[in-house]
Amino acid sequence: MKCAEAGNMSNGLFSHLLKGAWLLWQVLFVAGTGSKLWEVPTASFTSSSNLSEGLHWVPHCQNRHPQDRVRITADVPPRLDGTWVSTRCEVRPGPEFLTRSYTFHPNRHLQALQHYYTDSTCGDPAYSLLIWGKLRLRQASWITSGGTEAEPHLSKVGIVVHSVAARQRLASGLPPVCVGLTLGRVVPGKLYELYNTRAGRGCLAALGFSMMELGLIRVEMQHHSHGGKILELFLGDIHTDWTQRTHYRPTGYQQPLQNAMHHIHPCPVCALVYRSSEQRPPVLPRRSAASASLAGRWVSQRCETRPTVLFLTRDFSFDPEQQVWEGIYRHYSDPFCSQPMFTLRASGHYAQGNPSSKVLGATEFVFKVTQVRITAMEEPTAKLLNETRPGKCGRAGGWEVGVEQDLTPTHGCTVLGIKLPHKEFELFKFEPDHRKHPLLFIGERPTDGSSPDRPQKRPTSFQAPMVLCSGGERPHHQPPHHSESGFNSKQVQVTGNGTERLTQLVLLLLGSVLCSLSGIH
Ligand SMILES: *[C@@H]1O[C@H](CO)[C@@H](O)[C@H](O)[C@H]1NC(C)=O
Ligand SMILES: *[C@@H]1O[C@H](CO)[C@@H](O)[C@H](O)[C@H]1NC(C)=O
Ligand SMILES: *[C@@H]1O[C@H](CO)[C@@H](O)[C@H](O)[C@H]1NC(C)=O
């Protein structure tokens, strides 16, 4: 799909576009302008460091109520104290289905509980892991702006197997003896030690288990206009390639856990997960099959972070009758999506396939990208594209900030790794949110930046969900991109008033896209 190219793009983008952005950041940094573009990493945190960023990325559709606006802040370093829980059945590449409850104590000790299931609705618990350890926050991440690097030290991992069938499956995949534990003989419901500091990690690795996710951390606080606040904990992403996952250092995030005391209401899953223990795993209620249609316009709920360091929002429109789609990926250089870098608009055809046999409830799709248009939103990006060889990436010498270029005549853009036309194998699913509004989950992009251009590379997990803009709004087909360049982040940051203007701005911003990064899906 659109993203097909997107995947490729990310590699190229990285190596090319990003270099420009990176240079620019360094210049700003050195100049000491205090620009928000760059978050100064502190060598180490002192108790008083407070690099709280202010702001707000505001999603959304025209018809959203201004009251829905939220202001988002994130402290660096993050404050982790408390218990953080899954808000739904989580799907990891593989696929693996799990729920998590992590507790951080002020003395840096942590206790994490992970419940694994055999089914995609988290209704049939297989086993639970109880993890004890310590976490040391190290420094603001240089790679993933807004994130904090941390170092987990595991002291112990315990396992409780919940059924005889689960025991059999585990025993067949693990070394016969782990830490003196003979898996074939464990009693369901009883806690056994699977790892301690004296034992090797063979058993953990065989399970595909690691806590590398604690290597990158971000806590976002949403301040709602009605006075409520919601705390979300973003932990590092899990590599989509199973063989990489135990040593991959994350540069993107998983879907956030929410603070047990400050979460979105209602959240029945939060309560179940919060009250669970290794002996009593949460059994999530079966959902009625969400029978939503793809038709309409779907947008990101928030500023999203991709493993390879870019920040973006997505905005897709699908027309099931014509089987055509358009995806707009807006890329930014900051974690609040306030500094636009470039916008990618991809379009083409798609076909719905069979229900997925790996992720029950999800559906397979094939996307074809036939057209990609790009708008540079800042000078360095325009310059980089402008310097490509003639015939390789749009009209060489014709790139200008705010002016869209069609890459179709050059069959893509070599420097961005975009090839046209391009095909992608996808996995979609629908799920209702806490207000019973439909959410669209599109397949996770391969972490290595490649594209799922073969059926074997079809995703088994998902990106952040998108929300439907109700009312069947049409995507704005008028070229909105010319005007976009006129907005800068300062305007975006006007949160106090100017609601209408903000809404307009957001609309404009949303309109674009990014396949590149990862897009699409
Ligand atoms: C950072 O500063 C803000 C405003 O001064 C304050 O409300 C917040 O509690 C501080 N955070 C930390 C971690 O000190
Ligand atoms: C792109 O190249 C053309 C021709 O060399 C030049 O006139 C124009 O200023 C360049 N644009 C940018 C944004 O560098
Ligand atoms: C912003 O809102 C405040 C109160 O909500 C109001 O007093 C003020 O006049 C508004 N400013 C503008 C520029 O609309």
Domain ranges of the chain: 11-34+289-518, 74-274
Distance of CA 212 to the CA centre of its chain: 16
The number of beta carbons lying within 10 Å of the beta carbon of residue 265 is 9
Q: Which residues line ligand 1 (CB under 6 A)?
A: 50, 52, 75
Measured from the Cα of 397, ligand 2's closest atom is 2
Type of residue numbered 191: L
User: Is the confidence at residue 3, as pLDDT, over 70?
Assistant: no
The answer to which of 113-122, 292-301, 449-458, 499-508 has the lowest mean pLDDT is 499-508
Q: Which residues line ligand 2 (CB under 6 A)?
A: 382-383, 386, 397, 399-400
The answer to which of 335-344, 427-436, 487-496 has the lowest mean pLDDT is 487-496
Helix (H, G, I), strand (E, B) or coil at 386: helix
Q: What's the confidence (pLDDT) of residue 78? A: 93
Q: Ligand 2, residues 399, 401, 404: which to mutate, most atoms within 8 A of Cβ?
A: 399
Residue nearest to atom 4 of ligand 2 (CA): 397
Q: What's the confidence (pLDDT) of residue 61? A: 66
Residue 242 sits at φ, ψ, to 5 deg, of: -55, -35
Mean local confidence (pLDDT), 462-479:
64
The number of beta carbons lying within 10 Å of the beta carbon of residue 81 is 11
Beta bridge partners of 324: 319, 349
Q: What's the confidence (pLDDT) of residue 291? A: 63
**pLDDT 10s digits, 38-65:** 223 333 443 333 344 444 444 556 544 4
E strands present in 285-415: 296-300, 304-305, 311-319, 324-332, 340-355, 363-376, 404-406, 412-413
Mean pLDDT of the chain: 78
Q: What's the confidence (pLDDT) of residue 68? A: 53
The answer to which of 190-204, 272-286, 358-372, 460-474 has the lowest mean pLDDT is 460-474
The answer to which of 285-294, 362-371, 445-454, 482-491 has the lowest mean pLDDT is 482-491
Q: Are 375 and 484 in contact (CB under 8 A)?
A: yes
User: Is the confidence at residue 505, as pLDDT, over 90?
Assistant: no
Q: Ligand 1, residues 45, 51, 52: which to mutate, most atoms within 8 A of Cβ?
A: 52
The answer to which of 99-108, 472-481, 509-518 has the lowest mean pLDDT is 509-518
Q: Ligand 3, residues 491, 493, 495, 497: which to mutate, most atoms within 8 A of Cβ?
A: 497
Q: How confident is the model at residue 470 (pLDDT cuts 50, 70, 90)?
A: low
Q: Which ligand sits nearest to residue 79's alpha carbon?
A: 1
Query: Which tokens in the block code for residue 191?
Result: 């806690």
Q: Which ligand sits nearest to residue 500's alpha carbon?
A: 3
**pLDDT 10s digits, 134-147:** 999 999 988 888 89
Distance CA 296, CA 471 (A): 8
Q: How many residues does the chain have?
A: 521
Distance CA 438, CA 268 (A): 17
CA of 135 to the centre of ligand 1 (A): 22
Q: Are 138 and 44 in contact (CB under 8 A)?
A: yes
Residue nearest to atom 14 of ligand 3 (CA): 497
The answer to which of 22-31, 241-250, 349-358, 395-404 has the lowest mean pLDDT is 22-31
User: Is the confidence at residue 163, as pLDDT, over 50?
Assistant: yes
Distance CA 95, CA 77 (A): 32
**Which alpha helices (DSSP H) does 291-404 contain, by range?**
379-386
Distance of CA 117 to the CA centre of its chain: 22
Q: Is the C-beta atom of 497 inside 6 A of ligand 3?
A: yes
Residue nearest to atom 12 of ligand 2 (CA): 383
Q: What's the confidence (pLDDT) of residue 437? A: 84
Q: What's the confidence (pLDDT) of residue 86? A: 97
Type of residue numbered 145: S
Residues 6+ apart with CB under 8 A from 172: none
CA of 149 to the centre of ligand 1 (A): 20
Measured from the Cα of 79, ligand 1's closest atom is 13
